[in-house]
Amino acid sequence: MPLRSEPALHLLLLVALCSVLYFPYLGSTPFFDKGEPREALAVQDIVQRGEWLVPLKRATDIPSKPPLLHWSAALVTKMTGSLNEVTIRFPSTFYAILGVLLVYWLGRKMFDGPTALLGGAILATSMIYQDQALNARVDMTLCFFVTAGLVLFYGIYRGYLENPLWLYVFYTVVGVGTLAKGPLSVVLTALVAGSFVLVERRWDMIRRFCFHPGVVLMLILATGWYVVAVIRGGEGFFDRQIVEENLSRFVGDAGHNHPVYYYAPYLFSQGMPWALFFPLLLWDVFRTGLRADDGRLYLKLWVLVMFVFLSISVGKRPVYLLPLYPALALLLAAWFYKADAGGNVRTIGYKAIACFTMLIGALLLIITTGALWNQDQGWFFAPIEALLKPKDRANAAALRNQLDDFGWTFTLVALIEAGLWFSLARSLWLGKMRTVAHQLLLVSFFNAFLGWKVVMPAIAQSKSYRDFMAKVNEIVKPNDKLFLYGPFNSDSVVFYRGSVIEWLNQPAELVAWKDSSANGYLIMPVQSLTDFPRAAGSLPPPLLESAGKGPEGDAPLVLVRAALR
């Protein structure tokens, strides 16, 4: 193949890979957690009220995140004419694909075409990256802009991007990145780039980057929107966006508080199936040290500096690790292309992982054999449901019901995947690591299918209010009185209604019921309905009751008629 055509083919392969992994599943689940509907309400506000600069939730509440994701989703909505799960999630998928292509470009400059191709594929198929590519949250947007900033920095630093305009592009990307999730974009980029310059002792680069006119451009882009938003939102906006979401999160005053070692297991679990080889990769990193290979130094610092910084922060969530996976993917790809060299430690490691993958294959084979024997696709959930917490037990029950509806497709896919894991074990035992990489890509395809066609839809269906609200919208006309009542997370209810629904602040005693005076409707949790007789006499039987039980799985809703004063 001519060398010039290789990059085009590789890029085409990566886009095709991402398209198959992401696009079929964009609309496979309704909104069912707290995060996606929260962002969706800001997009809805832009579309309905035309408030692009400072979009609000429910036309009154300031969102907890800057609006870059909201702007992107609103633009897609305007272009397509549809406001739904697909258009709101699409920006995350778009930024994810661009991030994969950036990793390919960086890998090609650092290593070669095949390594870069594998690095992009590893990133695209890592569990955390797939998940956030299909999630209407700000984390993938942040990951893309941090990745873009660090790729541009390295390209300028090494002279791959010689035109002086690239420095302005770099500062523009870093500045705009603050509109994804706040100053974290600047902090992560500066920490990694600064650490690299210090380790390399390139003092001239400090002058080149720190005293460039582009710094002013970056500051304007990074602070301009915040200044306008503070003027619009006042002290409440400043406290929510700047203090609570950034400073308080770092020192532990805004929730999600965890110990310094919290991220260690999540670094592995979020990187599956490729995380099987993280121990061997980390062994090589520690064995060779940071300065052993100039091409890998930047990637090692990228992973190490981000991991240390995020571990020091008291507020932690597993998804915060997302921006370090682009570098980790390239490091692992380079490791795979040297993994055939062997060595005692590697050989032992390969065989240990082979035993583990053999167990996974055996487990899948037992599951499929039991399904064929019992004619029950979800038979294996029954023994473990009693050991789970109530919330997880409900998810397991929903998944078991979904498998019954899914038919024999699940059994067939599980059987194929069992064969892949057995084949993977054989390749590992023989030390054929490039074959292992290709087999893991196939495993990722089937994992995506099972996850987004079976597991996630089952969990979503047990929690989402979408079907309930579709029926509510048939009964309650746009001009009818409709209020929310009682404690529950109502973001998805408001989104699926398509308009703001006010909370009813009247005491229960004032919500009377008379056939002749019923003039409105209430949406409330079932528990609130059962509390009514003690306070205000009985309400009529519900017109509707939701199958979904909300983000926490404990708040099924009802629609009732009421006389609203």
Q: How many helices (H) and strands (E) does the chain have?
A: 25, 5
Which residue is listed with tokens 């920095």? 153
Task: Identify the DSSP state of 59.
Answer: T
The pLDDT of residue 170: 94
Q: What is the mean pLDDT of residues 282-305?
A: 78
Given a contact cutoff of 8 angstroms between Cβ atoms, the answer to whether 48 and 70 are in contact is no
Asked if the model's pLDDT at residue 236 lies above 70, the reply is no
CA distances from 250 to 33, 230, 256, 308, 317 (A): 24, 21, 10, 13, 12
The pLDDT of residue 324: 95
The pLDDT of residue 51: 81
The pLDDT of residue 4: 62
Which residue is listed with tokens 């035993």? 355
pLDDT digits (tens, 9 = 90+) for 153-212: 999 999 899 898 999 999 999 999 999 988 889 999 999 999 999 988 888 888 888 888
Q: How far apart are CA 457 and CA 85, in angstroms?
A: 13
Q: How far apart are CA 485 and CA 507, in angstroms?
A: 10
Sign, CA dihedral 248-254-255-256, equals negative
Asked if the model's pLDDT at residue 84 lies above 90, the reply is yes
Report phi then psi at 347, rounded to 5.
-60, -45
Minimal CA–CA distance to 106: which of 426, 328, 271?
Answer: 328
Percent of the chain surpassing pLDDT 70: 80
At residue 257 the predicted structure's pLDDT band, cuts being 50, 70 and 90, is: confident
DSSP per residue, 114-180: HHHHHHHHHHHHSHHHHHHHTS-SSHHHHHHHHHHHHHHHHHHHTTSS-STHHHHHHHHHHHHHHHH
pLDDT digits (tens, 9 = 90+) for 347-366: 788 888 888 888 988 887 87
Asked if the model's pLDDT at residue 10 lies above 70, the reply is yes
What SS3 string covers 257-283?
Answer: ECCCCCHHHHHHHCCCCHHHHHHHHHH
The pLDDT of residue 364: 79
The pLDDT of residue 40: 92
pTM confidence score:
0.88
